[in-house]
Amino acid sequence: MDRARIIIGCLAGKRVGDVAGECRTRPNTVIKWRQRFVQSGLAGLRDAPRLGAKPVYGADFRNRVLAVLEPPPPAGQASWDGPAVAAKLNGSVQAVWRVLRKEGVCLQRQRSWCVRTDKEFAVKAADMVGLYLNPPENALVVSVDEKPSIQALERAVGYVETDSGKIVRGCKSTYKRHGTLNLFAALQVATGLIQTNPTTLKRREEFLPFMDQIVADTPADRQLHVILDNYCTHKRCEAWLASHSNVHFHFTPTSASWLNQVEIWFGILTRKALRGASFKNVTELRQAIAAFMAAYNPKAKPFKWRKREVKGS
């Protein structure tokens, strides 16, 4: 706006000093913009490109930040963090964080991975998926596993108001332990129905009686295909299998128990019946699981296999 007033005053034939007084600026400024207007017209009133200050943290600093993450962290630390990187480079921690954010590097977030060690991964995984999507005729497919060491914790629970005014589910930080419970569970893949047996231990002596219970509830003329992980309790059952010719065990690949669908149900049980609950003893824990089962099975539905690709690494 001031530049426009200067040019308008000059075009009106006013003296430089008068224009400077009206615009409250110096005469040199009036002369500058008058010359710029004469040379370039309205474009001359725009700001000219400026070099600006030389960046303190440029591409070289970015490369140094990324390079310093490769060697081991400083002594006494398990991993790099922003202050450690800044100290190593003798730079600003804020500049380090800007580089890491721009590059999408999260030093504190963690993800786990599993390297495929089972040479028969593809064959075993195909067997699992085949049982889910195309089970054998005149056969039942059951996913079996155990959820070990479910703790009977007693603590105060309820709703609390946070500093932001939100109401959240709360539980007291201190608690009492009243023992643990092991839960064997069998998921009928075709129907989604669940069969369980809570036990104190999780040995083969508890596993095989649970399998006897499943076999007893299966029609004698039906083949029973059981999906299991590689836990030692599930192995060395040749004598039992020899006396149950209609039962076939299928083991998931090593470190791939997530292929067993009953793991999905364990997650549902944890979210709906165990997390945030309070139990005065193991008996109450048993009752809570039984109550959940009574509510779950009448509405049970089969899980839909949605994984389009199964990778082993």
Q: What is the mean pLDDT of each run of 10 residues along the chain (313 residues)?
A: 82 85 86 86 79 75 92 92 93 92 90 78 88 90 95 91 89 90 95 94 93 92 93 92 94 88 94 92 95 95 76 50
* 289 burial level (CB within 10 Å; 0-12, 13-18, 19+): buried
Residue 313 pLDDT:
44
Any bridge partners for residue 140, and if so which? 224
What was the pLDDT predicted at 309?
58
Q: Which residues have CB under 8 Å from 108's CB, separation 6+?
A: 81
Give residue 23's pLDDT: 85
Q: What is the pLDDT of residue 297?
A: 95
Please give the pLDDT value at position 22.
84
